[in-house]
């Protein structure tokens, strides 16, 4: 009699027959791909938990691999999105030419070095040159880049460059302030440290007065 481990019984699920559903239109190719990807992540999560010495049959862990797969899929969903998906045509012609700033935008991301969270706030400003974007699109743009395996420096630059590409404004300024669990839970274990990064393009980079206006407005209300 062939011996099968308990883990194999639990995780070797029969493949779904999606061929008919894919051809009759009830399941898209993307849905099939997403299902396969989530199954693969679930199997990988169970392997990881098992390698850590956990009992996959313990009550609290019975569905943990599936939950891990869903969480990681969501937390990295920005990798499959584009700027066009986010902005969705919400760019408008306006004569306004002063600084537009949305500040204190919270975000959550995963550090690509340890796959631990980092989180904080971002401040995004631009100087219009005939075009403005819907205000809600700035947080959405930030989320698109945050929901990837990231480093804070790259996240900051990507948001700035994306806004520059979308609007071709006279300047863009982005500042990100974040706390990193890789510094808080392991390593140096410093609980109150924050990392601040900035990306300045166009007039924000070249004009000290504009740069100071951005910084002072960001700090307004912080007692600075």
Strand, coil or helix: what is 90? coil
- Examine the residue annotation and report whether 106 is marked as an active-site residue of this protein: no
- Examine the residue annotation and report whether 59 is marked as an active-site residue of this protein: no
Longest dimension (CA), the chain: 80
- Examine the residue annotation and report whether 114 is marked as an active-site residue of this protein: yes
Residues 6+ apart with CB under 8 A from 25: none
- Examine the residue annotation and report whether 123 is marked as an active-site residue of this protein: no
> Could you say which of 38, 54, 66, 182 is catalytic?
182
> Could you say which of 111, 150, 158, 203 is catalytic?
111
- Examine the residue annotation and report whether 152 is marked as an active-site residue of this protein: yes
For the record, the structure tokens of 12 come out as 């070797």
> Could you say which of 94, 112, 153, 165 is catalytic?
112
Is residue 116 a contact partner of residue 180, using CB atoms and an 8 Å limit? Answer: yes
> Could you say which of 10, 12, 94, 113 is catalytic?
113
In whole angstroms, what is the distance from residue 139 CA to residue 122 CA? 9
- Examine the residue annotation and report whether 112 is marked as an active-site residue of this protein: yes
Strand, coil or helix: what is 60? helix
> Could you say which of 114, 164, 177, 213 is catalytic?
114
| H-type alpha helices, 76-134 | 83-87
In whole angstroms, what is the distance from residue 154 CA to residue 197 CA? 9
> Could you say which of 123, 158, 180, 203 is catalytic?
180
> Could you say which of 152, 157, 158, 203 is catalytic?
152
- Examine the residue annotation and report whether 10 is marked as an active-site residue of this protein: no
Q: Which residues are catalytic?
A: 111-114, 152, 180, 182
């Amino acid at each position: 009699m062939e011996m099968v481990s308990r883990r194999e019984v639990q995780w070797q699920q029969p493949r779904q027959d999606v061929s008919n559903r894919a051809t009759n239109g009830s399941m898209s190719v993307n849905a099939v791909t997403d299902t396969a990807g989530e199954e693969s992540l679930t199997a990988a999560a169970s392997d990881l938990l098992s390698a850590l010495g956990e009992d996959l049959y313990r009550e609290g862990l019975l569905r943990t691999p599936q939950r891990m797969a869903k969480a990681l899929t969501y937390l990295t969903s920005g990798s499959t999105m584009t700027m066009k998906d986010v902005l969705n045509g919400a760019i408008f012609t306006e004569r306004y030419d002063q600084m537009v700033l949305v500040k204190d935008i919270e975000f959550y991301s995963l550090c690509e070095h340890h796959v631990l969270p980092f989180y904080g706030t971002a401040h995004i400003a631009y100087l219009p040159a005939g075009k403005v974007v819907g205000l809600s699109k700035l947080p959405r743009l930030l989320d698109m880049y945050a929901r990837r395996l990231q480093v804070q420096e790259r996240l900051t630059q990507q948001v700035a460059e994306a806004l520059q590409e979308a609007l071709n404004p006279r300047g863009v300024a982005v500042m990100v302030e974040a706390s990193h669990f890789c510094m808080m839970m392991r390593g140096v274990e410093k609980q109150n440290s924050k990392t601040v990064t900035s990306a300045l393009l166009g007039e924000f980079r070249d004009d000290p007065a504009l740069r100071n206006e951005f910084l002072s407005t960001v700090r307004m209300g912080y007692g600075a």
